[in-house]
């Protein structure tokens, strides 16, 4: 039995699995659960998928499912833009994309924790990150007389 557990863990490590955090899985499943008047409806059950597939395969499946929803949405818009099903598809697409994002961020947290060594300064802003603007924020016009005027107000200029 323990040998099977070791083999499963080895498979997850080799094929990129085991990277999602429990929190990211819970968050993603939250996006994929919809409350209806009849109770809770799951768009997809991530925990069931993770029992037989690694993390990368689950994310790939969700991305493929999102592409299928996009195709369905395009067809629905061509047929009838006002159909209520369009709203349902858009909502499902949003939920699936948020689930993907939370799972990928969960993987990113694990990878960041494993690879983070001496990167305390990486979070600081540098002067070059300001978009190249190093001025005070006010532009001075040397020909301006310093008076504030209202829009449309006529001015007299010296010739």
Asked whether residue 9 is assigned to any structural domain, the reply reads no
pLDDT mean across residues, the chain? 76
Question: In this prediction, what percent of the chain has a pLDDT beyond 70?
Answer: 55
Is residue 24 over pLDDT 80?
yes
Asked whether residue 159 is assigned to any structural domain, the reply reads no
- Segment 83-92 shows an average pLDDT of 94
Asked whether residue 24 is assigned to any structural domain, the reply reads yes
Domain count, the chain: 1
Asked whether residue 95 is assigned to any structural domain, the reply reads yes
Asked whether residue 14 is assigned to any structural domain, the reply reads no
Asked whether residue 104 is assigned to any structural domain, the reply reads yes
Distance CA 91, CA 14 (A): 35
| Domain that includes residue 85, residue range | 19-114
Length of the chain: 159
Distance CA 6, CA 152 (A): 79
Segment 31-69, tens digit of pLDDT:
999 998 899 899 999 999 999 999 899 999 999 999 999
Asked whether residue 52 is assigned to any structural domain, the reply reads yes
Asked whether residue 70 is assigned to any structural domain, the reply reads yes
Residue of 101, 98, 124, 122 lying closest to 112 (CA atoms)? 122
């Amino acid at each position: 039995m323990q040998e099977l557990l070791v083999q499963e863990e080895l498979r997850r490590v080799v094929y990129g699995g085991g990277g999602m955090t429990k929190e990211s899985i819970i968050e993603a499943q939250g996006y994929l659960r919809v409350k209806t008047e009849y109770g809770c409806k799951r768009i997809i059950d991530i925990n069931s998928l993770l029992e037989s597939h690694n993390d990368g395969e689950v994310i790939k499946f969700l991305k493929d499912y999102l592409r299928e929803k996009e195709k369905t949405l395009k067809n629905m818009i061509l047929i009838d833009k006002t159909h209520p099903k369009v709203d349902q598809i858009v909502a499902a697409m949003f939920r699936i994309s948020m689930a993907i994002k939370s799972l990928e961020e969960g993987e990113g947290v694990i990878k960041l924790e494993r690879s983070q060594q001496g990167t305390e300064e990486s979070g600081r802003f540098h002067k070059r990150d300001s978009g190249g603007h190093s001025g005070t924020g006010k532009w001075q016009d040397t020909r301006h007389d310093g008076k504030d005027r209202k829009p449309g107000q006529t001015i007299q200029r010296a010739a």
